[in-house]
Chain A
Amino acid sequence: MTRRASPLLLALAALLPTLLSAGAAFAHAQLRGAEPRAGAVVAQAPEAARLVFNEPVAPLQARWITSNGETHDVAARSEGDALVAPLPDAAGRGTIVLSWRVVSQDGHPVGGTLAFSIGAPSENVALSAALVHEPGGAARAAAVAKFLLVCALAFGVGGAFALAASPGAATNRARRLAIAACAGAAPAALALGAATALDLAGAPPGELLRARPWLLLVESPVFGTLFAGVLAAALAGLSLAGRETRLASAGALALAAFSFALSGHAATAEPRWLTAPAIALHAGAALFWIGALPVLGAAIALRAGEAPAALARFSMIATAPVAALFLTGAALAIVQLGDAAAIFATTYGMLLAAKIACAVAMLGLAGLNRWRLAPALAARAPGAARAASRSVAAEIALALAVVALASGFRLAPPPRALDPAAQPEAYIHLHGQRAMADIVLTPGRPGANALAATILDDAFAPLDPVEVAVLLALPERGIEAIEARLARGEDGAWRADGMVLPLPGAWSVRAEILIDDFTREILIGEILIGEVGAEEVGASP
Chain B
Amino acid sequence: MNIFKTVKFAAASVALAIGAASGAQAHVTLETREAVVNTTYKAVLRVPHGCSGEATLRLRVRIPEGIVNVKPMPKAGWTLETVRAPLANPFMDHGREVTEGVVEIVWTGELLDEHYDEFVFRGRLTEALPVNETLYIPVVQECANGAERWIEVPAAGQTTRDLRYPAPGLKILPASGGHRH
Chain A interface (Cβ < 8 Å from any Cβ of B) = 18-19, 21-26, 28, 30, 54, 108-110, 138-139, 142-143, 146, 195-196, 199-200, 220, 222, 263-266, 336-342, 345-349, 409-410, 471, 473, 475-476, 478, 481, 508, 510, 514, 517-520, 522, 524
Instruction: Please give the number of chain B residues whose Cβ is less than 8 angstroms from any Cβ of chain A in the complex.
Output: 34
Which residues of the partner chain A approach B23 to less than 8 Å between Cβ atoms?
A: 26, 30, 54
- Cα–Cα distance between A348 and B151 once the two chains are bound (Å): 30
Which residues of the partner chain B approach A266 to less than 8 Å between Cβ atoms?
A: 7
Which residues of the partner chain A approach B60 to less than 8 Å between Cβ atoms?
A: 517-518
The reply to whether the CB of B131 lies closer than 8 angstroms to some CB of chain A is no
The reply to whether the CB of B120 lies closer than 8 angstroms to some CB of chain A is no
Given contacts A26-B20, A514-B149, A518-B138, whether A342 and B14 have CB atoms under 8 Å apart is: yes
Q: Are B11 and A508 in contact (CB under 8 A)?
A: no
Which residues of the partner chain A approach B158 to less than 8 Å between Cβ atoms?
A: 339
Which residues of the partner chain A approach B151 to less than 8 Å between Cβ atoms?
A: 517-520
Residue-wise interface mask of B (134-166) relative to A, using a CB-CB cutoff of 8 A (1 in contact, 0 not): 000010100000000101100011100000010
Q: Are B1 and A195 in contact (CB under 8 A)?
A: yes
Question: Nearest B residue to A472 by beta-carbon distance?
Answer: B16
Chain B interface (Cβ < 8 Å from any Cβ of A) = 1-23, 60, 62, 138, 140, 149, 151-152, 156-158, 165
Given contacts A481-B16, A510-B19, A519-B151, whether A346 and B8 have CB atoms under 8 Å apart is: no
Q: Are A473 and B16 in contact (CB under 8 A)?
A: yes
Q: Give the A-B contact count at a CB cut-off of 8 A.
A: 151
Q: Are B157 and A508 in contact (CB under 8 A)?
A: no
Instruction: For the complex formed, measure the closest distance between the CB of A412 and the CB atoms of chain B, giving whole angstroms.
Output: 8
Q: Are B9 and A475 in contact (CB under 8 A)?
A: yes
Which residues of the partner chain B approach A23 to less than 8 Å between Cβ atoms?
A: 10-11, 14-15
Most buried by A among B5, B15, B19, B23: B5
Q: Are A19 and B6 in contact (CB under 8 A)?
A: yes
Q: Are A475 and B16 in contact (CB under 8 A)?
A: yes
Which residues of the partner chain A approach B2 to less than 8 Å between Cβ atoms?
A: 18, 139, 142-143, 146, 195-196, 199, 410
The 3 closest A-B pairs by CB, nearest first: A475-B12, A25-B11, A199-B1
- Cα–Cα distance between A194 and B137 once the two chains are bound (Å): 53
Which residues of the partner chain A approach B16 to less than 8 Å between Cβ atoms?
A: 471, 473, 475, 481, 508, 510, 524
Most buried by A among B1, B4, B22, B23: B1
